[in-house]
Amino acid sequence: MPRETAVHEPHEHVFIPQHRHHFETEEQQREAGSFGMWLFLLTEIMFFGGLFFAYLLYRNWYYDAFVPASNFLSVTLGGTNTAILITSGFCMALAVWAAEVRKKQFLVIALILTTVFGLAFIGIKYVEWHDEWEHHHVPGAGFDISEFVSPNAHGITDQKAIPPDMAQHCQIFFFLYFAMTGMHALHMIIGIGLLVWLILRAQRGDFTAGYVAPIENFGLYWHFVDIVWLFLFPLLYLINRHPLK
Amino acid sequence: MTTHEQHFHDPANVTNPEHAEHHIVTPVHYLMVFGALLLGTLLTVLAADQDFGIMNPVIALAIASTKAVIVILFFMHVKYQSNLIKMTVAAGFFTFLVLITMTLSDYISRAWGLW
Amino acid sequence: MSATSTTIVTLPDQTTATIPKKNYISAEHGLLSWLLTGDHKRIAMLYLISITFFFFIGGAFAGLIRLELLTPQPDLVASDTYNKFFSMHGIIMVFLFLVPSVPATIGNFLIPIMLGARDLAFPKINLLSWYLYLAGGTLTLAALVLGGVDTGWTFTTPLSTHYLNTHVVTTACAIFVAGFSSIFTGLNFIVTIHRMRCPGMTWFRMPLFVWSHYAASILMVLGTPVLAISIVLVALERLIGIGVFDPNKGGDPLLFQHLFWFYSHPAVYIMILPGMGVISEVVSTFSRKRVFGYTAVAFSSVAIALFGFFVWEHHMFIMGVSNYSALVFSLLTMLVAVPSAIKIFNWAFTLQKGSITFETPMLYAFGFMGLFTIGGLTGVFLAALGMDIQLTETYFIVAHFHFVMVGGMLMAFLSGVHFWWPKMTGRMYPEQISKLAAVVTFIGFNLTFMPQFILGYLGMPRRYHAYPPEYQVLNVLSTAGATVLGVGYMLPILYLAWSLKYGPIAGNNPWQATGLEWQIQSPPLTENFTEIPVMDHEAYDYEWLEHKTQQEVTTVG
């Protein structure tokens, strides 16, 4: 069969040094890389999905335990962390722009800022976790339900007292809290490690000569981790902030 | 199978979308998205303090979903990407929803009583 | 070039033929060139060796199970040990053999070539996939050596989380890692199929083998992470005891099962779809006829993948799920059988009025079609709620899934290995003994698993190492069959190894098949093609092939 739609255009193919030879063109390589990263993010959606379902189920079953447990978390810290992570995402987006318009110093600064805000997030997370540890809210043998059973005795005036068997289920809330924020933090830490590597390579000029794929694809990963937190914050921190009404 | 010279182009073939338009999102766009996200965070905290009854979690999830959508469309450039990428994102969320809703179908109907 | 009436095998003149000097095997030398390769064909060979190794370990456990079940009394091993036998058998066979069997070996080897590409999209990730597979396998062996795990391959809670002291966490880690191997393979295939087809290779000109792998890859990417989170939760439950699956602490053991089966049902389609892809290729080649209803077969693969996500609760009908959801899932399960049936009909119509010959791959393909049909139909019995209550957790289930997985998938795997052996190695396997092995396997399989349908119907529970004496005759038949089956599986190892040195030189296209892989040398060059091909004809175009071979001068060697 003749190839009716064939055209023959003479022009140059300038290949960047990072061109892989099983790809015919830059565009193909770039598209494939981006598509591959998105598929990986799909696996992450499904991975977190299991945890989100467990949360959905137990919040429904043990709403009366989830409310005081959630109210124990600090909205100030959680909200600040949300703002910090959004800022980190903004810096990452700027980094992608910088790589595309080939501004090396801007790229390096943007990546550094992304990392700094990411570390700030982890820092605040640590403070929160430490706080929960101090109050014996880490699930396991040391879990203490007294704050939930008799809040007034602990100086808490805006919570209802709940019966001891329901208070036991606060442990499930805290398990989901630690599992979900922990899994999220793990992804952030891996991301920060990758950022350090990217900063070093960006400083060398690897990403401002036409090869932007690692920055773009890392950006996708980082924004995804951000999106997970955008859901975790209201679900974990803002369950019912006025239980006595 | 036929052989071809090195720079053969087949416009009917979409696997090598050469010279595809590469849209660069500017920092101004990003700034607007950034502002919207911070605004959304503020809104969700304020809304949590009001008593909307059953609508509280609905509002919270609606705001979170809106934020997620603008991150996906603009920070992650999906608005300017090929249909393949858009379908991929949709497929991911579709499967997530299948997991949630079909599993829920069991838990919700358990209390309906045996027939 | 002329085919005799009983075979289509066309080999070059053996007195002068040689393996092409430059090919992917001879391209580089040394162990590191294999262990650090990016070449999808070498990775496929590495996988082939690894999964064969694990297949025989899993098979050994099967042998031990059948040995215990020769007698009604629990006289060979203690009950805990028996539990370890079937658990290890299941874990190894499902995760370390069946899931990667066709995709990681034949799929890895052929998909780039079938699409006209030089390699998969991400060669380094492909290699990483193999190393993750080995890590998962090593962890499984570690769990085995440390004492084994006796949860069953399904890790059902609360047994696995609260009542056992075996190496559940180690095995959970093993499967977690092996799962990522599968995810990365699927990811690679999806990107390659979307973005690396050669000019002219539209979606509907791809071989159906590629369509099946595309559908299976979607399942791998979207389903496996849910398995990962489910076993992470089991591990955490064991290590910390938070109560997410513990009824005493308010948890629901069924939550684990929902998450586990959300993957494990699509997993069975991950396992079978690539096999169906093989059968499409083999049936077409050995009937000298294009696959009937190409579009229907292609879309049915995707439909199986899609509907496969909607039916998982049928593994939980007796576990305490609500009757209303059971009703919905029962209906959906019956619907998912339809696309599979469509394929069987299409293969049957491909055979009709074809010029059929019975080389070994075709023998395995016929075995597949018959045995998969039986297995699949028994699945429809099980979809009916009333039948399932009677038959679940009995040997009926065991027979059902062995019919589809062993009579189906394993036969498809062997069919594919034989069909593409000449392409991968440049040599033909010995046809007489391979036919014998195929027949022995078929007989052994039926003798092993047909009695199990009856046993299940009569009420013999699965996963028990003792049974009432009236079931003994059927069990003895089953064990006898297992022995024959074992012989049938040993033979290919021996003669395929033999063929590497002594097999006749195959040439480019011993089967006179269509498909890009048969237009290049055997074994292929590392870069597959000297120049990227342009696809200008439909799939399974035998007229094009006829036209082409008439115009070619037959070259030597």
Residue at B102: amino acid letter: M
Instruction: Decide if C254 touches A, using CB distance below 8 A.
Output: no
Please give the DSSP secondary-structure letter assigned to residue C174. Answer: H
Q: Count contacts between A and B (CB, < 8 Å).
A: 151
Torsion angle (degrees, nearest 10) of CA C183, C185, C186, C189: 160
- Is pLDDT at B4 greater than 50 in this prediction? no
Chain B residues in contact with A3 (beta carbon < 8 A): 10
Q: How confident is the model at residue C534 (pLDDT cuts 50, 70, 90)?
A: very high
The answer to whether C236 and C242 are in contact (CB under 8 A) is yes
Identify whether C17 is part of a domain. Answer: no
- The span from the CA of A96 to the CA of A212, in Å, is 8
Q: How confident is the model at residue A241, as a pLDDT?
A: 82
**E-state strands within C173-328:** none
Q: How confident is the model at residue C5 (pLDDT cuts 50, 70, 90)?
A: low
Positive/negative CA dihedral, C398, C401, C407, C410: negative
Chains that touch A (3 or more CB pairs under 8 A): B, C
CB contact under 8 A, C309 and B95: yes
- Which domains, from first to last, does chain A contain? 49-237 (1.20.120.80)
* Better-scored residue on pLDDT, B24 or C69: C69
Q: Each residue of C471-528: pLDDT tens digit?
A: 999 999 999 999 999 999 999 999 999 999 999 999 999 999 999 999 999 899 999 9
- Mean pLDDT value across residues C7-26: 90
How does DSSP assign C61-94, residue by residue? Answer: HHHHHHHHTTSSS--SS-HHHHHHHHHHHHHIII
- Mean pLDDT value across residues B65-92: 94
Identify whether C25 is part of a domain. Answer: no
CB contact under 8 A, B25 and A93: yes
Q: Each residue of C303-321: pLDDT tens digit?
A: 999 999 999 999 999 999 9
CB contact under 8 A, C221 and A169: no
Q: How confident is the model at residue A5, as a pLDDT?
A: 38
For chain B positions 49-68, those within 8 Å of chain A (CB to CB) are: 49, 51, 56-57, 60-61, 63-64, 67-68
Chain C residues in contact with B2 (beta carbon < 8 A): 533-534, 536
Chain C residues in contact with A50 (beta carbon < 8 A): 225-226, 229-230, 233, 259
CB contact under 8 A, B44 and A233: yes
Q: How confident is the model at residue C410, as a pLDDT?
A: 97
* Interface ipTM: 0.93
Strand partners, B2: C534
Identify whether C474 is part of a domain. Answer: yes
**Could you tell me which of C6, C3, C2 has the C-alpha nearest to residue C357?**
C6
- Mean pLDDT value across residues C416-426: 97
Q: Which domain holds residue C228?
A: 37-556
Three-state secondary structure along chain B?
CECCCCCEECCCCCCCCCCCCCCCCCHHHHHHHHHHHHHHHHHHHHHHHCCCCCHHHHHHHHHHHHHHHHHHHHHCCHHHCCHHHHHHHHHHHHHHHHHHHHHHHHHHHHHHCCC
* Better-scored residue on pLDDT, A240 or C400: C400
Mean pLDDT across chain A: 89
Percent with pLDDT over 90 in chain C? 90
Mean pLDDT across chain B: 83
The count of other CB atoms within 10 Å of the CB of residue C13 is 11
Cβ neighbours of residue C330 under 8 Å, at least 6 residues apart? C314, C317, C383, C384, C385, C388
**Could you tell me which of C152, A175, C143, C315 has the C-alpha nearest to residue C160?**
C152
The answer to whether C149 and C166 are in contact (CB under 8 A) is yes
- Is pLDDT at B12 greater than 70 in this prediction? no
Q: How confident is the model at residue A18 (pLDDT cuts 50, 70, 90)?
A: confident
Q: Where are the alpha helices (DSSP H) in A63-169?
A: 63-72, 75-100, 104-134, 146-149, 164-168
Cβ burial, residue C283 (10 Å; 0-12/13-18/19+): buried
How does DSSP assign C349-415, residue by residue? Answer: HHHTTS-----HHHHHHHHHHHHHHHHHHHHHHHHSHHHHHHHTTBHHHHHHHHIIIIIIIIHHHHH
The answer to whether C71 and C154 are in contact (CB under 8 A) is no
What's the structural domain count of chain C?
1
Q: How confident is the model at residue B25, as a pLDDT?
A: 85
- Tokens for C72, please give them: 């009604």
Q: How confident is the model at residue A139 (pLDDT cuts 50, 70, 90)?
A: confident
- The span from the CA of A56 to the CA of A59, in Å, is 5
- The span from the CA of A204 to the CA of A215, in Å, is 14
- Is pLDDT at A38 greater than 70 in this prediction? yes
Instruction: Decide if C385 touches B, using CB distance below 8 A.
Output: no
Identify whether C257 is part of a domain. Answer: yes
Partner residue opposite A172 with nearest CB, options C223, C224, C244: C244
The answer to whether C256 and C232 are in contact (CB under 8 A) is no
- How many Cα atoms occupy the beta-carbon half-sphere of C355 within 13 Å? 10
Q: How confident is the model at residue C416, as a pLDDT?
A: 98
- The span from the CA of A64 to the CA of A170, in Å, is 9
The answer to whether C96 and C58 are in contact (CB under 8 A) is yes
Q: How confident is the model at residue A3, as a pLDDT?
A: 38
**Could you tell me which of C495, C512, C498, C496 has the C-alpha nearest to residue C550?**
C512
- The span from the CA of A146 to the CA of A154, in Å, is 8
Instruction: Decide if C534 touches B, using CB distance below 8 A.
Output: yes
The count of other CB atoms within 10 Å of the CB of residue C369 is 19
- Tokens for C298, please give them: 């292609």
Strand partners, C534: B2
- Tokens for C402, please give them: 């062995």
Q: How confident is the model at residue B18 (pLDDT cuts 50, 70, 90)?
A: very low
Would you give the end-to-end CA distance of chain B in angstroms? 64
**Could you tell me which of C147, C137, C163 has the C-alpha nearest to residue C84?**
C147
Chain B residues in contact with A227 (beta carbon < 8 A): 67-68, 71-72
Q: How confident is the model at residue C461, as a pLDDT?
A: 96
Instruction: Decide if A196 touches B, using CB distance below 8 A.
Output: no
- The span from the CA of B48 to the CA of B52, in Å, is 8
The answer to whether A56 and B100 are in contact (CB under 8 A) is yes
Give the start-to-end residue ranges of the domains of chain B. 25-76, 82-107
**Could you tell me which of A57, A55, A41 has the C-alpha nearest to residue A233?**
A55
The answer to whether B16 and C199 are in contact (CB under 8 A) is yes
Cβ neighbours of residue B56 under 8 Å, at least 6 residues apart? A238, A240, B47, B48, B50
Q: Each residue of C276-297: pLDDT tens digit?
A: 999 999 999 999 999 999 999 9
Identify whether C18 is part of a domain. Answer: no
Q: How confident is the model at residue A141, as a pLDDT?
A: 78
Please give the DSSP secondary-structure letter assigned to residue C21. Answer: S
Percent with pLDDT over 90 in chain A? 64
Percent with pLDDT over 70 in chain A? 93
Mean pLDDT across chain C: 94
Q: Each residue of A154-208: pLDDT tens digit?
A: 888 888 888 988 888 998 999 999 999 999 999 999 999 999 999 999 999 889 8
- The span from the CA of C467 to the CA of C71, in Å, is 8
Identify whether C309 is part of a domain. Answer: yes
- Mean pLDDT value across residues C324-333: 95
Strand partners, B8: A8
Partner residue opposite A90 with nearest CB, options B25, B34, B45: B34
Q: How confident is the model at residue A14, as a pLDDT?
A: 61
Q: How confident is the model at residue B3, as a pLDDT?
A: 40
CB contact under 8 A, B33 and A93: yes
- The span from the CA of C105 to the CA of C49, in Å, is 9
Q: How confident is the model at residue B7, as a pLDDT?
A: 45
Identify whether C411 is part of a domain. Answer: yes
How much of chain C is in helix, strand and coil states, percent to nearest 5?
Answer: 70, 0, 30
- The span from the CA of A91 to the CA of A106, in Å, is 10
- Is pLDDT at B20 greater than 80 in this prediction? no
The dihedrals phi and psi of C172, each to the nearest 5 degrees, come to -60, -45
CATH of the domain at C149: 1.20.210.10
**Could you tell me which of C273, C280, C276, C277 has the C-alpha nearest to residue C350?**
C280
Q: How confident is the model at residue B114, as a pLDDT?
A: 66
Instruction: Decide if A138 touches C, using CB distance below 8 A.
Output: no
For residue B25, how far is the Cα from the chain centroid? 18
The answer to whether C162 and C241 are in contact (CB under 8 A) is no
Identify whether C6 is part of a domain. Answer: no
Closest approach of chain B CAs to the CA of A27, in angstroms? 6
Q: How confident is the model at residue C377, as a pLDDT?
A: 96
Instruction: Decide if C322 touches B, using CB distance below 8 A.
Output: yes
